[in-house]
Amino acid sequence: MDSFLSLLEPPASTEIKKLSLILLYYIGLANNLGYSMVFTGAHSLVNHMNLQNSIGYVILSLVSCDFIILVLNIRFFIGIANRRRIFFCCFGMCISYGAISYSMWYGSKAFPIALVSFALIGMCASIGECVNLGMLKEFFPEYLKGFIFGTGTSRLVAASLWIIVNSFYKDDEIVWASTVALGILYYIAFTYIQKQVKQGSLGNPNVELTVFVVCPQQSDNVSSATGNAYFSMTQLKVIVSNTKFLALTLSSSYFLEAVITVGFADRISLNMKKYGNKNFFTTHNYELIQFFYYSGILIGKYFISIVKTGRLWILIILQICNFSIMAIETGIKFMPYWGNYITMFWVGILGGLCYANVFYLMLNSEDIPKYYKEACSNFILVCGNFSILLAALCTVMIDNYIITN
């Protein structure tokens, strides 16, 4: 099959192929970087505004509208041209970066503006990922690597960036203002890639991208353009019936990971700054935790070639053990800082394994028709986003009622 596809691939110069891979990496990175900077830099953001008990509100605003925007995208926005949707995503990101920069400069009174900006970043990142994933599924396989690597390394890049910024340059508002350029370059890169698609250099130039299309008149038909079924109640029943366990598993993993790496990590880091020796590790503990956690995520996802299992409950039990250990650590502080890093690295490995195995089982399930696969992916991710929302609410409770500053 691969050899057959290679015969169909239109000729493209080596330079265009290399440039396309680089731009696809940048598109993946730019689409997720703002989201990642908020997630990994939340501790620094609230401390900059002297609002140490507000990290839960930051994450809550970031993920609060993801569920709504994903549903709206599937129901209403899916027919809008990709380039137009990406334009509005990039425009929204640029406005948000500028507003966050202003909030950092103005201080705690502008925190509500920052919260609205975080929500807008979350929505733009979700729509952008949907559009790009829809486009990428039509590409020849070698071009997928760039985008996947870009999204996969975005939080590592963000965590590294915050460590550097907080070590040498304390003006967070300048950092956010400079990221406006990333949104502009994102749109330019996407425009070039879409041009290559239309010319047939990267994939089928005749296929317009969708996840699945709502069409009540043809509810049980399959789109000849995308290979995906039109939305129907029959489809919804098949999706829920075959993916409810996978969705529950990933949602549980997301919830545990989010509380551990945001809620617990924030409290531990504040404790270190107050009572620990002043050094690089205690000063940048939260950012280092994020770095080790996302390093573990990447490794865990790559382990799918070695560790394939249908016993996902084992991964959840192990993650619950990590949750219990870090909850105790948050309360009584019994581990050295390097113990936190090792634990967070392990949390990341389990999280990556869970994510990879959930989608491996879904994509290889013979009980799910091929034309329902993408809809199943969206259902699982919507459930996962909802669990992060619950984790953010839990973090708010921890910060303000259980372990206050």
391 has pLDDT over 80: yes
Tokens of 346: 């392990």
Comparing 234 with 134, the larger pLDDT belongs to 234
pLDDT reading at 9 higher than 50: no
Residues 6 or more apart from 101 whose CB is under 8 A from it? 173, 174, 175, 176, 177
A 10 A CB-CB count for 268 gives 22
Residue 203's DSSP bridge partners are 139
Of 272-281, 313-322, 384-393, the range with the lowest mean pLDDT is 272-281
Return the pLDDT at 374: 64
Q: Do domains 13-211 and 217-405 have the same CATH topology?
A: yes
Q: What is the mean pLDDT of residues 372-396?
A: 81
Identify the CATH number of the domain defined by range 217-405. Answer: 1.20.1250.20
Six-digit token string for 53 = 């008990």
Task: Read off the pLDDT of each residue in 212-234 and give the average, rounded to a whole number.
Answer: 51
Q: Would you kindly state where each structural domain of the chain is located, as residue ranges?
A: 13-211, 217-405
C-alpha torsion 315→352→43→121, nearest 10: -130
Tens digits of residue pLDDT in 79-134: 677 788 899 999 999 999 999 999 988 888 899 999 999 999 999 988 887 777 66
pLDDT(198) > 80: no
Q: Tens of pLDDT along 358-380?
A: 877 876 777 777 666 667 777 88
Residue, of 107 and 400, whose pLDDT is higher: 107
Residue 141: pLDDT above 70? no
Do residues 101 and 42 lie in contact, with contact meaning Cβ atoms separated by under 8 Å?
no
* pLDDT given at position 166: 76
pLDDT of residue 138: 54
> What is the reported pLDDT for 336?
85
Question: Architecture of 13-211 per CATH?
Answer: Up-down Bundle (1.20)
Measure CA 222 to chain center: 29
